[in-house]
Amino acid sequence: MINGRMDKFSLWVLIFMLSACDVADLPFQTEGETILAKSKQLNCTQKRYEQTIDSLWDVVSTRLEKVLPDTMPSGRRENMINIRNATLLKQFKIFYVTLDTTSLNLITRSGAIDSLTALQVSALKLQQEAHEKKVLDFLMKVEKQDPVAARKWNENFLKAAKEDCK
């Protein structure tokens, strides 16, 4: 210091030393945040698929409630309305042949969308399994250096699984 002031060299040394301290924490922070963001993304993708399928079959159920005759045996009528699978609906041949074209097309399209979504869900499950391994590897690495931080990260991952998606 010169005359109570820090010279430029001393200031740069101080800034470098302070930033060097942060860099030691940065790999865990950056890696953890990246993995956490991926966890949230995968969870939200799964929820969107579930919502898509639920909405799809809700539309079919609503349509069936309107077009199926009230004279049908109530148990069979309720079963048809509540089934969320085109192949199973088509097994009700006696009643299936009485449905209007719009309803038949809706069931067929819903079955096709459901099948495609099931393929997407299968691919997502593989991504989730691979990601879970990354999470566990990360937590084990953090645990070796900082058990308290590992518990906090684990809590963050658990919270992410329960968070609402945007």
- Give tens-digit pLDDT for 66-124: 999 888 888 988 999 999 999 999 888 776 678 899 999 999 999 999 999 999 999 99
Q: Please tell me the total count of domains within the chain.
A: 1
Q: Is there a domain that residue 12 lies in?
A: no
What is the extent of the structural domain holding 71? Answer: 39-162
Q: Return the ∠ at Cα 133 (arms to 129 and 139), rounded to 5°.
A: 140
- Cα–Cα distance for residue pair 133/129, rounded to 1 Å: 7
Q: Is there a domain that residue 106 lies in?
A: yes
Q: What is the pLDDT, as a whole number, of residue 33? A: 94
Q: Is there a domain that residue 5 lies in?
A: no
| Nearest CA-CA partner of 112 in 67, 49, 56, 45 | 56
Q: Is there a domain that residue 48 lies in?
A: yes
Cα dist from 40 to 1, 5, 46, 128, 143, whole Å: 49, 48, 10, 11, 22
Q: Is there a domain that residue 23 lies in?
A: no
Q: Is there a domain that residue 102 lies in?
A: yes
Q: What is the pLDDT, as a whole number, of residue 60? A: 97
- Give tens-digit pLDDT for 26-79: 458 999 999 999 999 999 999 999 999 999 999 999 999 999 988 888 898 899
- Give tens-digit pLDDT for 122-153: 999 999 999 999 999 999 999 999 999 999 99
| Burial (CB count within 10 angstroms: exposed 0-12, middle 13-18, buried 19+), residue 4 | exposed
Q: Is there a domain that residue 101 lies in?
A: yes
Cα dist from 47 to 65, 83, 120, whole Å: 26, 21, 12
Q: Is there a domain that residue 21 lies in?
A: no
